[in-house]
Amino acid sequence: MRISLSKIKTLFFIPWLSFLSLPFIGAKGACYLFIGICAAGIIFIALRRVGQVRLGGKITKELTTPKLSYNPKYFIAVSMLFVLVLPLWADNYYIDVAVLAGIYIILAIGLNVIIGYAGLLNLGFAAFYAIGAYSSALLTTALGLGFWSALFVSLILTTFSGFLLAFPALRLRGDYLAIITLGFGEITRLTLNNWDKLTHGPNGISGIPVPFIFGFELENLKHYYYVVLFFVLFAVIVVRRTYYSRIGRAWLAIREDETAAEAMGVDATRYKFLAFSFGAFWAGLAGALFASKMRFVSPESFSFMESVFIACMVILGGLGSIPGVILGSLILVVLPEALRDFQSYRMLALGAGLILMMIFRPQGIIRSRE
Amino acid sequence: MILEVRALTKTFGGLKAVEEVSFRVSRGIILSIIGPNGAGKTTLFNCITGVFPLTGGQVLFDGKDITRKKPYEITKMRIARTFQNIRLFSNMTVMENVMVGLHTRSKEGLIAAIAKTKKFLKEEAEIKSKALEFLEFVGIDDYAGSLAGNLPYGDQRRLEVARALAAEPEILLLDEPAAGMNPQETGELMKLINRIKEWGKTVILIEHDMKVVMGISDRIIVLDHGVKIAEGNPKEIQNNTDVITAYLGKEDIF
């Protein structure tokens, strides 16, 4: 086993971090943190080893992609069964977390189209989320539209906003694109915060009505859970099908090498527009679901941190991989809830976890392709 | 004439990379463009395929003006190319690379893909079988499922050719396909290019390996400092004094 200098540095980094946090959490806390990070590190190294053993680092000569060690069909069936029966025994707190996780999964799947497939770094994704949530909130409260018609209109609006953002973003890549999208996110948040007449500024919009399905009011959180679940499945299926089409391949080609993609006949401009609009569409859906779940929206839900949070889900889970992105969203929503007792240290642990992740497995937990 | 280049000029700031280069290519031949390093060969390719806008001149393909067209439009009109420094989609599979090449030859859109319509499924199946055919043609179908970036060097070159062929071009532009190949691989490459010619395609080739150039070219164009200094068949080029001067320098007599 070859140990590079950077890895030795990382090994020193862990006790150092624990030592730094000593004054804040005491000796016992620092010990726990140290053990926790080491354990996480060992798990990641182990995962990586397993990956290497399976791949053998050699060229696969088979026509198929490397086989998974389990049959994904069984795995999907079991997890589907689990999410379907979850509301039967779980109490409202768990369902609440699950609904939130579902909304974030839709968001992460949308952002994954932009960052993971088309390779366009977007740090202002919360803006689309905000536009979806606010347009749905305003349409239902101020105009008195029903949930579904408001959802339809807000999806159109959000998709269009994605299309608009693509204009300045077209000629830029990497860092520059990140800055533009970041700016777009901040402009959206500030507009919502200051346009008192329309958005009620920082007070937000309250009294968003509960959605109806066929005249049936979704007041019960359990029922709402199934609506979100439906949309999560919808998002997974639609994005997956798009991925396995010439559109998905065109996006990947642009991500890999834009010049070569154009030389192969891919109209990069068109597909970038499509990626932005298509990604924004899902944020609009998540926003509308969020607004009607909370029955209240305010600008603080759509800060820059929110964009970073969604980007973390995509990157942690595995850029370009739908199962990875789902896993990433679940981890980042459920873990902070599970670690609620540790209060502010959970963010510290999260940060450390992300750093370790970037060092030992930069492709994310589940790689898009092995 | 399948391709006609008229007084093509490209300048970068004060530097004249290509200056008033004109030539004609007739259908179904192998044309080589040779010249010392920095002679403007790749720039010429980039101008023909629309990567760089021209400073002056005109490019006609099959009588149609393609001078101001974008790269993807030119590919759609059936001119495809490879790159000097291999530019594969490394994190996509070998198969997918070729499938991207078929992009312009397919048309099903977003809605069809989401709804998985019959037409869409049929087209996808066609794309796959065609892609496999092109991989077989260049002889790397064994690797279809592995990542393009993991291929050995010579096979990466072949994959680039397969990907370009997948765009079903009339003219194939190859930018130094033999670079970095061993003699055996070079021999196989020459066979491959000849097969592409037999298939009825026109091949334009930039190459430094004189064995390849003299072995398979029907016509040769020599560039030096952005200017065309000679044109002819291999025999004429070998005996051309300007060409010898460009490559070896002037013979000084003391």
Whether A63 and B71 lie within 8 Å, measured CB to CB: no
For the segment(s) A75-342, the CATH number from 1.10.3470, 1.10.760, 3.40.1130, 1.10.287 is 1.10.3470
Average pLDDT over residues B71-100: 94
The whole-number pLDDT of residue A356 equals 80
Q: Chain-wide mean pLDDT for chain A?
A: 84
Every domain of chain A and the residues it spans: 75-342
pTM above 0.90, yes or no: no
Q: Where is mean pLDDT largest: A104-113, A135-144, A303-312?
A: A104-113
The whole-number pLDDT of residue A173 equals 74
Residue A281 has pLDDT above 50, yes or no: yes
The whole-number pLDDT of residue A131 equals 96
Residue B100 has pLDDT above 80, yes or no: yes
Q: Residue A257: which of B87, B145, B147 has the nearest Cβ?
A: B87
B188 touching A (Cβ < 8 Å): no
The complex's ipTM works out to 0.92
Q: Residue A241: which of B75, B109, B116 has the nearest Cβ?
A: B116
Whether A245 and B108 lie within 8 Å, measured CB to CB: yes
- Alpha carbons B69 and B53: distance in angstroms, whole number: 9
Q: How many CA atoms lie within 13 A of A233 on its CB side?
A: 11
Q: Which domains does chain B have, with CATH numbers?
A: 1-78+169-254 (3.40.50.300), 88-168 (no CATH)
Residue B246 has pLDDT above 50, yes or no: yes
Band (A27; pLDDT cuts 50, 70, 90) = low
Under the phi-then-psi rule, with left for phi > 0, alpha for psi from -120 to 50, and beta for the rest, what region is A97?
alpha
Kindly report, residue by residue over A122-172, the tens digit of the pLDDT: 999 999 999 999 999 999 998 988 899 999 999 999 999 999 999 888 878
Kindly report, residue by residue over B154-178, the tens digit of the pLDDT: 899 999 999 999 999 999 999 999 9
Q: Judged by CB atoms within 8 Å, which residues 2-61 of B form the interface with A?
A: 49, 51
Pair of tokens at residue A71: 């049959």
Residue A2 has pLDDT above 60, yes or no: no
Whether A252 and B96 lie within 8 Å, measured CB to CB: yes
In sequence order, which residues have a C-beta less than 8 Å from that of residue B241 and are 6 or more positions away? none
Burial of A246 per CB tally in 10 Å (0-12, 13-18, 19+): buried
- Alpha carbons A113 and A180: distance in angstroms, whole number: 18
Whether A264 and B80 lie within 8 Å, measured CB to CB: yes
The whole-number pLDDT of residue A144 equals 86
- Alpha carbons B58 and B55: distance in angstroms, whole number: 10
Q: Residue A256: which of B71, B92, B101 has the nearest Cβ?
A: B92
Q: Where is mean pLDDT largest: A20-24, A28-32, B216-220?
A: B216-220
B136 touching A (Cβ < 8 Å): no
Q: Distance of CA B87 to CAs A26, A220, A279, B212, Å?
A: 54, 55, 27, 22
In sequence order, which residues have a C-beta less than 8 Å from that of residue A27 and are 6 or more positions away? none
> What radius of gyration do chain A's Cα atoms show?
22
A256 touching B (Cβ < 8 Å): yes
Band (A220; pLDDT cuts 50, 70, 90) = confident
Which residue on chain B is closest to A278 by alpha carbon?
A: B110
Residue B101 has pLDDT above 50, yes or no: yes
Residue A74 has pLDDT above 60, yes or no: yes
